[in-house]
Amino acid sequence: MTLLIALAITFGSATAQDKLYHNTFNLNQVELLDGPFKHAMDLNTKVLLEYDTDRLLAPFLKEAGLPKKAEYFPNWAGLDGHVGGHYVSALAIHYAATGNKECYDRLVYMIDELERCQIANGNGYIGGVPNSKQLWENLKKGDFGLFRGAWVPWYNVHKMYAGLRDAWQYAGIEKAKDMFIKFCDWGLDIISGLDDNQMEQMTGTEFGGMNEIFADAYQITGDRKYIEAAKRFRHKDIFENMADGRDNLDNKHANTQVPKAVGYARVAALDNDARAKQAAEFFWDRVANHRSVVIGGNSRSEHFPAASDYKSYVEHREGPESCNTNNMLKLTEFLFAMDPKAEYADFYEKAMYNHILSTQHPEHGGYVYFTPLRPAHYRVYSAVNQGMWCCVGTGMENHGKYGEFIYTHDGAQELRVNLFVASRLNWTENKVTITQETQFPYSESSKLTINLKKARKFRLLVRCPEWTTSGYSVKVNGQEYAAGVCSRCTAIIICSHRAQVEERRCG
């Protein structure tokens, strides 16, 4: 397969997303243009607005002792509140990506209601976990009875932590940040009573990305108590093995493990922790290169099969789970932010096009839980206000984030084009607009039109994909690249597959 990149160079305000992720653009700086990703995002915006906010909020009001305004959703009872947390994230992401005002209004309503819950709880807590008060009080004392009998309580509340962070980060709602930090302080108080052995027992149960959350709180506040908490949530059984380069993932529940590695990557980046980096990188390599199937997804019946058992993928009706790939993309973004290797972007492309995009029904917008690899098998899609599966939660978020990784930057000096998706980047900090026109994967070319408001110089790095087997060529203003000398930019094309790096400069 070949890929032609054509560049045309002509002359001619953002919210807070980069507060945490310094190499990304705000979603409102990247406009998706017509194509499958814009279709998916627009459809998902419509679907999100069909959900009943008061029903999603009911578990939080109940646990705060406040009267509910609507009935709970009966599906996935016991994990009450998890989809509410994802929904807050999804509204924030879709508002940032599309500017849709109803997404914003709903988000403000949700945050106001959740603030009422936090005030009524009186201790910073905002959760829908059934029997919250008693369960968490007991856990703090080291009594694991109710915790073990409940459905993954930390996993559940992690979704609301992420929702509050995202309401601040993507949609700029300052109050949500304060609520997030108070909620983190509640979490610190709960684990303050537990010794290291008890932490290890507790983190043996799925806990979502609680280590990532505390790393975020550290980045926001600079207070080391949060990064220490992130490290306490590492779950040594996975962390130590991964950091030592031992794959102990056979037959383990897959999506329990991926978010742990997301947290390791964040701790590595924020605390310069080499061992955490090693653990995150080794985990990524094992899952992306040894435990994923052709669509970039992983798991069979939610578990990593033993290395000797991969044939069973073809027979099994429960193939790769959507949540796992949602989290693998996060892990990939965070590793790429530390080491922008094309290998990471190759995986991202594969999993985003072939798995994530396919997990939405193209007409009614329902979400997929499992993507079976069984030949000619069916898939099951969720219905609005009925299915409350984990993959409905991550599904709500996925289709608003397509603009997040197409372009990344390293300050004003360097722009990377990681993905070939029809889009327009408004690089406000550099007063540059870049329009990418492509039908990829239906055609094998992409045209980038770079509009500079005034002369400036930056490096443009266009990924040379792993799948280009017979050629990769670049034209600048219609000329073969070597002849395309331009006095206003320096372009370095990185032929970035694996260790092979090719640099060519103009200007």
Q: Which stretch binds Zn ion (CB under 5 A): 191-199, 327-335, 341-349, 388-396?
A: 388-396
Q: Which stretch binds Zn ion (CB under 5 A): 148-156, 174-182, 333-341, 382-390?
A: 382-390
Burial class (CB in 10 A: 0-12, 13-18, 19+), 1: exposed
Shorter beta-carbon distance to Zn ion: residue 87 or 472: 87
- Collapse the DSSP code of 21 into the 3-class scheme (helix H, G, I; strand E, B; otherwise coil) and give the result: coil
We find the least distance from the C-beta atom of residue 154 to Zn ion, in angstroms, to be: 16
Shorter beta-carbon distance to Zn ion: residue 159 or 350: 159
We find the least distance from the C-beta atom of residue 297 to Zn ion, in angstroms, to be: 11
The answer to whether 107 and 167 have CB atoms below 8 angstroms apart is yes
We find the least distance from the C-beta atom of residue 86 to Zn ion, in angstroms, to be: 10
We find the least distance from the C-beta atom of residue 302 to Zn ion, in angstroms, to be: 8
User: Site for Zn ion (CB under 5 A): which residue of 107, 390, 432, 434?
Assistant: 390
Closest residue to Zn ion in the complex (CB) = 323
Cis peptide before 441 (omega within 30 of 0): yes
We find the least distance from the C-beta atom of residue 323 to Zn ion, in angstroms, to be: 3
Shorter beta-carbon distance to Zn ion: residue 55 or 86: 86
User: Site for Zn ion (CB under 5 A): which residue of 210, 243, 391, 425?
Assistant: 391
Instruction: Give Dmax (Cα) for the chain.
Output: 72
Shorter beta-carbon distance to Zn ion: residue 323 or 491: 323
Beta strands across the sheet bearing 490-491: 407-409, 414-417, 459-462, 490-491
At 342, give phi and psi (nearest 5°). -65, -30
What does the block give as tokens for 237? 């059984």
Should residue 460 be labelled a site residue for Zn ion when binding is judged by CB under 5 A?
no
The binding track of 125-144 with respect to Zn ion, each residue x by CB under 5 A or -, is: --------------------
Shorter beta-carbon distance to Zn ion: residue 6 or 323: 323
User: Which residues 177-236 are close enough to bind Zn ion by CB under 5 A?
Assistant: none
We find the least distance from the C-beta atom of residue 319 to Zn ion, in angstroms, to be: 12
The answer to whether 219 and 270 have CB atoms below 8 angstroms apart is yes
The answer to whether 75 and 386 have CB atoms below 8 angstroms apart is yes
Show the CA angle centred on residue 369, arms to residues 363 and 373, nearest 5°.
Answer: 95
27: left (phi over 0), alpha (psi -120 to 50) or beta: alpha
Shorter beta-carbon distance to Zn ion: residue 36 or 208: 208
The size of the chain, in residues, is 507
User: Which residues 295-324 are close enough to bind Zn ion by CB under 5 A?
Assistant: 321, 323
Q: How far apart are CA 218 and CA 270, in angstroms?
A: 8
Shorter beta-carbon distance to Zn ion: residue 42 or 318: 318
User: Which residues 323-352 are close enough to bind Zn ion by CB under 5 A?
Assistant: 323
We find the least distance from the C-beta atom of residue 91 to Zn ion, in angstroms, to be: 20
Q: Which stretch binds Zn ion (CB under 5 A): 88-96, 234-242, 291-299, 385-393?
A: 385-393
Number of residues in contact with Zn ion under rule CB under 5 A: 4
We find the least distance from the C-beta atom of residue 369 to Zn ion, in angstroms, to be: 6
How distant is the alpha carbon of residue 361 from its chain centre? Answer: 20
Shorter beta-carbon distance to Zn ion: residue 279 or 391: 391
We find the least distance from the C-beta atom of residue 317 to Zn ion, in angstroms, to be: 16
| 387, amino acid identity | G
Show the CA angle centred on residue 78, arms to residues 74 and 83, nearest 5°.
Answer: 70
Mark out the alpha helices in 99-249 (DSSP H runs): 101-121, 132-140, 145-149, 153-169, 174-192, 196-202, 210-221, 224-232, 236-243
Shorter beta-carbon distance to Zn ion: residue 329 or 391: 391
Residue 352 vs residues 213, 244, 449: alpha-carbon distances, Å: 24, 30, 24
We find the least distance from the C-beta atom of residue 184 to Zn ion, in angstroms, to be: 25
What does the block give as tokens for 356? 């994530």
Shorter beta-carbon distance to Zn ion: residue 254 or 434: 254
Chain residues in the site for Zn ion (CB under 5 A):
321, 323, 390-391
